[in-house]
Amino acid sequence: MTTTMPEFEDQELLRYSRQILLPEWDLEAQYRLKQSKVVLIGVGGLGTVSAQLLARAGVGELVLVDADTVDDSNLQRQVLFEPEDIGAPKAMVAAQKLQHTTPWLKVTARLERVDQASLQEIVQDCTLVLDGTDNFATRDLINRVCHAQGIPLISAAAIGMVGQLSYFPPEGPCYRCLFGESGIDDRSCAANGVLASTPQIMATLQAHHALLALGLNLSPLAGKLLLWDGMTGEQRLIRFSHDPDCVICGDTLGSPL
Ligand SMILES: [Zn+2]
């Protein structure tokens, strides 16, 4: 292997010792994780869990993007928040908590609602984007910007007692290939409800696949949609392929005529 040997403080080596012990996860995987910058869009039921796992696992840099403030109704499932945080900006509270647990983590809070211009700037030099938002328009925008900038995207969704997850490589197949122009289920937790465990499960899977991608260059969910059903315990994988007519990553754009 030609990777430069990592420089870890003793405390980091101790912190990650159970991970480095794994036959599948060595010091070089830990180093790749430390070199990674992950942008999380949405610091709610999904984002609080995935951010916490990635920070604890040893991701070098996190950017947390959310314009909302903490509400009492969030505390049922958004694990980084406590009653004393009510009214404070979610991204800021989350960044402070993560920084406390992992002092060497570089973490930035962006208290803003993303649009195309801001998203292009936020994700421009990152390694991976995690989508934890709850509406199709934002998910579609994140997909477009990630594809245009060549950044992989892991998108998770949780509602009620069901969830879904997929990994979208920059070259596709992308979110639009999978869901089309009109999108899918656009219900929000605020309007339709969510069991506390659902976002935790989906965000844990999202963080797991982020670790696989960042540490091991593995993306077993590329071209597959994972569906989790909390009522039956069933988990299914649905394969999908590149849509040649996709306006984001399809052959009709970008290829010479
Ligand atoms: Zn596409």
On whether the CB atoms of residues 252 and 245 are closer than 8 A, the answer is yes
Residue 182 is predicted with a pLDDT of 76
Distance 74 CA to ligand 1 centre (A): 33
Distance 168 CA to ligand 1 centre (A): 9
Distance 177 CA to ligand 1 centre (A): 4
Q: What is the pTM of this model?
A: 0.94
Cα 143 to Cα 116: distance, rounded to the nearest angstrom: 11
On whether the CB atoms of residues 92 and 80 are closer than 8 A, the answer is no
Distance 242 CA to ligand 1 centre (A): 6
pLDDT higher than threshold 90 for residue 58: yes
Query: CB 88: neighbour CB atoms within 10 A?
Result: 14
Region of 86 (left: φ > 0; alpha: ψ -120 to 50; beta: rest) is beta
Residue 185 is predicted with a pLDDT of 61
Residue 2 is predicted with a pLDDT of 52
Mean pLDDT of the chain: 93
Amino acid (one-letter) located at 213: A
CA nearest 132: which of 52, 13, 221, 73? 52
Query: CB 234: neighbour CB atoms within 10 A?
Result: 9
User: Would you list the DSSP string of 145-164?
Assistant: HHHHHT--EEEEEEEBTEEE
Residue 254's pLDDT band, with cuts at 50, 70 and 90, is very low
Distance 134 CA to ligand 1 centre (A): 20
Distance 243 CA to ligand 1 centre (A): 6
Residue 184 is predicted with a pLDDT of 64
Is 246 catalytic? The answer is no
Query: Which alpha helices (DSSP H) does 2-135 contain, by range?
Result: 10-15, 17-20, 27-34, 47-57, 90-101, 116-123
Residue 4 is predicted with a pLDDT of 60
Q: Give residues with Cβ within 8 angstroms of 96, minimum separation 6.
A: none
Which residues lie across from 108 on neighbouring strands? Answer: 63
For residue 36, give Cα distances in angstroms to 60, 96, 125, 210: 5, 20, 10, 10
Span 164-188, pLDDT tens digits: 999 999 999 999 999 988 766 667 7
Give the active site residue among 126, 174, 177, 189.
189
Residue 232 is predicted with a pLDDT of 98
Which residues lie across from 109 on neighbouring strands? Answer: 64
Residue 26's pLDDT band, with cuts at 50, 70 and 90, is very high
191/62: higher pLDDT: 62
Complete domains list, the chain, with CATH: 19-239 (3.40.50.720)
Q: How far is CA 70 from the centre of its chain?
A: 20
